[in-house]
Amino acid sequence: MNTKSLLLDLGNTRLKWALADGADVLAGAPLAYADETLAAGLAQRWRDVEKPAQVWAASVAGAAREAELATAVRQRFDCDTSFVRSVANACGVQNAYPIAGRLGIDRFLGLIAIHQAKRTPVLLVSCGTALTLDLLTPDGRHHGGLIAPSPALMQHALYGNTAQLKAGGDAHWLALADNTDDAVFSGTWFAAVALVERVLAQAERQLDTPVELVLSGGAAEQLQAALGGLGRIEPELVLRGLSLYAAEHP
């Protein structure tokens, strides 16, 4: 009998998936929405995957995408998908939001993964479509966080909503730029860096102790480079947190 769980991370632009067997999480190739439909894309990627014992999903993509995913899972494996929502307390993490379900499940599961691995204060920064920052202390208490546009989203907004700005070729990181593309690219990344550095300093003052910076998300490497190498990158935190949640809720 197969004991593996199929884990699904349904984001704003792509789906990530993994198979979990106990503590082992084996990630598969992600699927971008623009490439193909979920059903066709997943049928191809899962053609050699045997029916899992359970299917767990974390989604920030909305009801329509969730329904599409659930249908794809049912067509391929003839089983239902359990969508996880943020709660007040799970896996030792205490959600700071008074209305627990309003905290993005990607943020909540990321905190669960970090709490399982670390017992020091952590500022978790995820850079993808959005830039999110969350403070977690060793007792598992979430002290809240912030949400801002990612540099990519800021760039898209500037080029899409400013008549005189037109995207050109490759942009470069410069302290002071002499052309529009470099100015937009550098300005948006400086904005992200300033926010991260400010919140990190504020967290250390608030807790009166050093706080470790952990980076995740699709643009984590770019953010780390913009920060001058500051921070430690942790990949696949949502899938890892989802695995821990699933193990606690068999």
**CA distances to 23, 242, 249 from 58, in Å:** 18, 7, 14
- CATH topology match: 5-83 vs 119-237: yes
Q: What is the pTM of this model?
A: 0.90
What is the per-residue pLDDT for 29?
62
Mean per-residue pLDDT of the chain: 89
- Superfamily name and number for 5-83: ATPase, nucleotide binding domain (3.30.420.40)
Task: For 119-237, give the CATH class.
Answer: alpha beta
- The answer to whether 219 and 13 are in contact (CB under 8 A) is no
Residue numbers in the chain where pLDDT is lower than 50: 163
Query: Residue 119, Cβ neighbours under 10 Å: how many?
Result: 11
Return the pLDDT at 24.
66
Would you state the pLDDT for residue 223?
96
Please tell me the distance from the alpha carbon of residue 159 to that of residue 161, in angstroms, as a whole number: 6
Per-residue b or e along 125-145, where b marks 16 or more CB atoms closer than 10 Å to that residue's CB: bbbbbbbbbbbbbeebbbeeb
CA 51-54-59 angle, 5° bins: 110
Could you tell me the residue ranges of all domains in the chain? 5-83, 119-237
pLDDT in tens, 108-148: 999 999 999 878 999 999 998 899 999 999 999 999 999 99
Q: Write down the pLDDT at residue 178.
A: 87
Q: What confidence score (pLDDT) does residue 39 get?
A: 75
Please give the backbone phi and psi of residue 232, each rounded to the nearest 5 degrees, phi first: -115, 130
Query: Could you please report the per-residue DSSP string of 87-139?
Result: -SEETTEE---SSGGGS-HHHHHHHHHHHHH--S-EEEEEESSEEEEEEE-TT
The pLDDT score that the predictor gives to residue 234 is: 93
User: What stretches of 208-236 show up as alpha helix (H) in DSSP?
Assistant: 220-226
How far apart are the C-alpha atoms of 25 and 21, rounded to whole Å? 7
Closest CA to 9 of 49, 77, 52, 65: 65
Catalytic residues, by residue number, are 106
Contact (Cβ atoms closer than 8 angstroms) between residue 216 and residue 235: yes
- 177-210 pLDDT, tens per residue? 888 889 999 999 999 999 999 999 999 999 999 9
